[in-house]
Amino acid sequence: MNPIIEIGDHPGMRVAVYPGSFDPVTNGHLDIIHRAAKVFDKLIVAVLNNTSKNPLFSVEERTELLWQATRDLPNVEIDSFRDLLINYMKQKNAHLIVRGLRAVSDFEYELQLASTNRKLCEDIETFFMTSTPKYSYLSSSIVKEIARFHGPVADLVPPEVERALRGKYGSGSL
């Protein structure tokens, strides 16, 4: 399988999709986005609209926060989807999935997802990127828990997300 595909007027362009709930986007997510944007010609950060979860931020809010946090990256596109990832990938004519690994404990789950996606569509490859050590503990759940109790999150999320968390949880010092 050749992950180089043709996109419109740009033959040979390498397009990858970084899917996730991003509820909210953290500095760990942004680290993966910035690094993946250097590897691929185009990176689509795709916000999953998972109806089985009860997110803090709407899909529109998460999409907007991601756009604000990545607007300096010209080859990054922010989008959302509610279908199987494989169907979304086909719609976007993309063959590469970017997934971040924080710890060994993430690997088993991510390997299962990658294997399932490959079973559903053998043209799909998963590209694993390990977290920068300073973000290896960081998750959206941890950020929301800290913010809910008005703890400091400024070092964990971009400024626009900190403001949005303050709006959701009240104006206590975050």
Please say if 150 is a catalytic residue: no
Task: Name 99's bridge partners.
Answer: 128
Please say if 92 is a catalytic residue: no
From residue 81, alpha-carbon distances to 3, 55, 124 in Å are: 22, 15, 17
Binding residues for ATP, as ranges, are 21-22, 29, 100-102, 110, 135-141
Please say if 119 is a catalytic residue: no
What's the token pair of residue 80?
Answer: 């959302």
Binding residues for substrate, as ranges, are 21, 53, 85, 99
Please say if 173 is a catalytic residue: no
Active-site position among 92, 95, 131, 140: 140
DSSP-derived secondary structure for 8-32? TTEEEE-EEEEEE--TT--HHHHHH
Active-site position among 42, 95, 102, 144: 102
Binding residues, as ranges, are 21-22, 29, 53, 85, 99-102, 110, 135-141
Active-site position among 10, 53, 82, 168: 53
The answer to whether 160 and 66 have CB atoms below 8 angstroms apart is no
Which residues does the annotation mark as catalytic? 29, 53, 102, 140
